Structures are given as structure tokens and as C-alpha cells.
Amino acid sequence: MQIRPAKKLDLFPVYLFDQLDQDKAKVEATGADVIDLSVGDPDRETPAHIVQALCEAARNPDHQHYPSYRGLPVFRKAIADWYEQVFRVTLDPDAEVLSLIGSKGGIGHIPSALVDPGDVVLIPDPCYPAYKPGIVLADAKFESMPLYESNGYLPDLKAIPASICKRAKLMILNYPQNPTAAVATREFFEEAVAFAEQNEIIIVHDAAYSQAYFDGERVISFLEVPGAKDVGIEINSMSKTFNMSGWRVAYAVGNRRVLAALGKVKSNVDMGVFEPIQIAAVAALRGSQDCVTQMRSLYQGRRDVLVEGLRSLGWKVEKPKATFFVWLPVPEKGKPSGVFASEVLQKAHVLITPGKGFGDCGEGYVRIALTVEEERFREVIQRLKKSNFVY
């Protein structure tokens, strides 16, 4: 029998990082030691007290059954308390908090919960590639909001045509932003809330990097802005803040009607998070936050080594204020980002991500993840120098 996948799948590109993995494997097959600076996956281990909580909870037979869809009450309360402590945002753990199997899972389901076929979803360009598939699966359409360096990588909401605003039901925002590393101002979030109210557009703010900020300048939550809870939700994750990317645990907070809709989709198509993982997440949220402070200084140190090293080779690069990424223009003017990244991989055996992979507006840029040790960044600079990536 011939198996024919759904036509919709033709609309999915090969997932960016799958493609990069294949490119890397080809170079590694020649015996090369590739330094992989492509994915924003924390390289350090999950703090011991979190692992310990998982192990203890896993031994308890009460935690070995199907988990609740919305999340254990103790987990939802810990999230609400953490939001109060970190952002001064008050949440009702019963109705304004929902557990997710990673933010990617929540992001994938959100369009099915909120949009009808033909509705428009506004997404940033460049953006995290996982925003598009959920929109395609919901038979909706996405419209890009270009992010330009000249505007601090904030979308110009006034430039969105009225005809698109009319058809738009949902807007996805993400600050600190992947891939540009930009941080939103309070004024921008205020403008976004007013825009959402005026045009009846629900906002989903992806705050996966909310704790990965540098130089002591904390970043704000979307929900800190008055009225935000009336127009949308924020998705936050344990992955980056607590080095828990493999654990698949995250949560959505904010507007109760949006969360109820998302919860309805989830209860029908997936499950809750394994309870011992939720218990471990409680240990992370309620325990000492020293590990989070250490995470920030670790990435800040790497950022400084990388940026200063690249500058010494004549590259034009700014120090990011947040995220695990450095976003910089391709140093050879006019060269496509894919060609440049491929040359860096072939000659220096360093894997970086072409900006085009994040959207058309990412062309002309590359993204470098800060997810290897400082020593390896020194080696990256040596290799780039040796391979003559000097300007």
C-alpha cells in the first residue's frame, strides 16, 4: 500500500534544527570535531536538588498514574507564588495557571484552541520556528510582523494594515526574543495591550527566556502591564531557567478563558506532565534561586568572551541583554546567511544558525548560541581566525 502523508505536511519545512543536525553529521563523518553553537539547549546539568525531588517522587506509587491535565494543585500554586515573587503578578492558581508539556507543546496547541479556518495569526519575523506548524494545523494563516534592528526588533503595530487587523484573531510575541535577543520595553507591552483591545486580538507572549537576562537588568513579564490579563496569556518554561529542557515541563498563565480553551484542546489530545516532574518543578520554583543567578553569570561570561573575541576579528557585534544568543549581521556584506554559515561549518567546523532559518527578515544575520563552555568559545575564535574569517 502506498502511504500518502496529509497534504498539510507539504506546508511544513524540514525543521530548521533537523536540517542543521544533518549538516553537522556530514562534517563529523569526516572525523572533524564540530563545535555546535546552533541550538539554545542549556548544556549544564539540572541542579541536584531538582533531580533529587524527582527521584523521591518517582518512588511514590501515588505519582505513577495518569497525571491531571491542568497540573497538580501544588505545582500551580508554586507557579503563582513564583510569579508574585519574581514579577509582582498575582495569579489565581485554579483558573489562571495551566501546566504544559514544554512550551513548544502549548505553542503548538494554542491556534487550535483559539482560531478558525482562515483566521489570521500575527507572528514576528524572524521568530522561533515552532510558531508556524500549529497555525498550519489549525487551517489558519500567518502574517508576519517584521522585526528590524532600527526599531529594536519590536514590531511596528501601526504598520499592520487594517484589513489584516480585521482578520487577525491572535498575535504571538516573544521577549526576550529568539533569535534577535531583543528585550521589550514596558511601553511596547502597553502599546500591544491597547492594540489588542482595540482590534480584539488575543496576545500569547512566549517568555521562555524571562530569567536569562544580563548585567543585572531584569526583564519584565507581559502580565506586569495593566490590562494584559484581559487580552492574553504568557507561556513560561522550566527549560532554560532551571536547565530542564529534557524534562518537558512548562506552563501558561493569564487570561482564564484562553487557558480554559487551551486546556480543552490539551485534555483531548495530550496528557498532563508526569507527576514526579511536576514535584521536581515545585522544588525548582520554591527552592533557592542561586542556580538561576549562576546561570545568568555563566552565560554572561560566555557572551563577553565570544563578543570580545569576534570584535577582535573585526566582526560587528553587539552584546545581547538577554537570551542564550548572540545575533549579528553576516560580516561579509551581501552574502546569504546560509552560505556564510555553511562556509563557517566547512572551514572552521563551527555550527552557527543562518538567520534566514527564522524568517525572511532574518536574512543577513546569523545566530550563535552561548551553550558551550568559555574555553570552547576561545577555541571558536582561534578557529575563525585560522580560517581567515577576519574583517
Ligand X SMILES: Cc1ncc(COP(=O)(O)O)c(C=O)c1O
Give the interface with ligand X as residue ranges (CB under 6 A): 40, 102-104, 128, 174, 178, 206, 208, 237, 239, 245, 250
| Residue closer to ligand X, measured from CB, 349 or 356 | 356
Q: Taking the C-alpha atoms of 305, 34, 212 and 300 in order, what is their torsion angle to the nearest 10 degrees?
A: -10
DSSP label of 48: H
| Residue closer to ligand X, measured from CB, 241 or 255 | 241
| Residue closer to ligand X, measured from CB, 53 or 208 | 208
| Residue closer to ligand X, measured from CB, 245 or 255 | 245
| Residue closer to ligand X, measured from CB, 285 or 381 | 285
For the bound state, the minimum distance from the C-beta of residue 250 to ligand X, rounded and expressed in Å, comes to 4
In this structure, what C-alpha cell is assigned to residue 51? Answer: 533531580
For the bound state, the minimum distance from the C-beta of residue 325 to ligand X, rounded and expressed in Å, comes to 9
**The pairing of beta strand 168-174 with beta strand 120-125:** parallel
| Residue closer to ligand X, measured from CB, 51 or 130 | 130
Dist. CA 51–CA 295, nearest whole Å: 17
| Residue closer to ligand X, measured from CB, 174 or 199 | 174
Plot region of 118 (φ>0 → left; ψ -120 to 50 → alpha; else → beta): left
| Residue closer to ligand X, measured from CB, 242 or 315 | 242
For the bound state, the minimum distance from the C-beta of residue 161 to ligand X, rounded and expressed in Å, comes to 26
DSSP label of 245: G
Q: Taking the C-alpha atoms of 215, 221, 224 and 228 in order, what is their torsion angle to the nearest 10 degrees?
A: 150
Residue type, 13: P
Residues 6+ apart with CB under 8 A from 103: 206, 208, 235, 236, 237, 239, 250
Dist. CA 352–CA 275, nearest whole Å: 36
For the bound state, the minimum distance from the C-beta of residue 288 to ligand X, rounded and expressed in Å, comes to 22
Q: Taking the C-alpha atoms of 94, 97, 98 and 99 in order, what is their torsion angle to the nearest 10 degrees?
A: -110
For the bound state, the minimum distance from the C-beta of residue 102 to ligand X, rounded and expressed in Å, comes to 3
Alpha helices in the chain (DSSP H): 16-28, 48-58, 73-87, 103-114, 131-137, 162-167, 186-199, 228-231, 238-241, 256-269, 275-286, 290-312, 337-348, 374-386
| Residue closer to ligand X, measured from CB, 104 or 109 | 104
* Alpha carbon separation from 313 to 212, 276, 307, 320, 352 (Å, rounded): 27, 48, 10, 18, 17
For the bound state, the minimum distance from the C-beta of residue 205 to ligand X, rounded and expressed in Å, comes to 11
At 77 the three-state DSSP class reads helix
For the bound state, the minimum distance from the C-beta of residue 249 to ligand X, rounded and expressed in Å, comes to 8
For the bound state, the minimum distance from the C-beta of residue 238 to ligand X, rounded and expressed in Å, comes to 7
* Bridge partners for 376 per DSSP: none
For the bound state, the minimum distance from the C-beta of residue 176 to ligand X, rounded and expressed in Å, comes to 8
For the bound state, the minimum distance from the C-beta of residue 38 to ligand X, rounded and expressed in Å, comes to 11
| Residue closer to ligand X, measured from CB, 50 or 381 | 50
Residue type, 339: V
